[in-house]
Amino acid sequence: MIIAANLKTNHNRTKTAAYLDTIEEYIKEHKSKDRAVVFPSMSSLCPSRERITIGAQNAYPVANGSFTGEIGTDHLDELAIRTLLIGHSERRHILNEDIGLIKRKFDFFAELGYEIFFCVGEPLEIKETGFESVLTYINRQLDGIDLTYPKLVLAYEPVWAIGTGKTATKEDIIAVHSAIKELSDKPLLYGGSVKVENAAEILAIDGVDGVLVGTTSWQADKYNALLASAQTIKE
């Protein structure tokens, strides 16, 4: 199981370090075997810990250059960061990253062998038009992405479930995950209002290989509770 925390624009450097300390302590104490991945904010990036992989929420597909506000591989290399989130719904829908840029990022970082957490998911207006539209929408997001890339981790995150407290139903998750699983055998996470209370049920679903969590993960004790849920499922 992969338990991934997307800290978004939360926790400065000091708070992130304390957060990681708490999680690492928990992992060691409870001998958690699940994989912990944390995506801190850009200025809080740091090298991975012994038991926690650190990933970047974003990077531009360059080593360096004139791209104001962005970071490239020079900056990731300095911290030995080899994991990257691409296609998150907030980057697609708030920061207006289009499918072309997302694909360019994927190709660039895949060529360099980065582990890529690639997010897909439909907005509410698509969901409301039915399951076939959802699949068509997701297929378009995956179009041109190498779904056999060895270091690919997929995440299904319905936009209407992100940060809204509204989790997809078990049936929704089963339906979409099995459709994505037909396209790729890579690990597939669910994301969108995963909470301590529903994590165990979601993690137990066939075709769910972990969770990508925002809001709930921002508190270290809640993140640790997610690890505890994962541990109960698989043992």
Which entry of 11, 88, 97, 115 is annotated as an active-site residue? 88
Active site residue 30: no
CB of 166 to ligand PGA, least distance (A): 9
Paired sense of beta strands 152-156 and 115-120, if any:
parallel
Question: Which residues of this chain interact with ligand PGA, rule CB under 6 A?
Answer: 6, 157, 162-163, 191-194, 212-216
Which entry of 90, 97, 115, 157 is annotated as an active-site residue? 157
CB of 213 to ligand PGA, least distance (A): 5
Active site residue 88: yes
Residue (6 or 48) nearer to ligand PGA, CB = 6
CB of 49 to ligand PGA, least distance (A): 21
Residue (63 or 95) nearer to ligand PGA, CB = 95
Which class for 51: exposed (0-12), middle (13-18), buried (19 or more C-beta within 10 A)?
A: middle
Please name the residues in contact with 164: beta carbons below 8 A apart, sequence gap of 6 or more. 192, 193
Residue pointed to by tokens 């060895």: 150
Residue (10 or 133) nearer to ligand PGA, CB = 10
d(CA 203, CA 218): 19
Question: Quick one: tokens of 90?
Answer: 């907030």
Query: What residues act catalytically?
Result: 88, 157
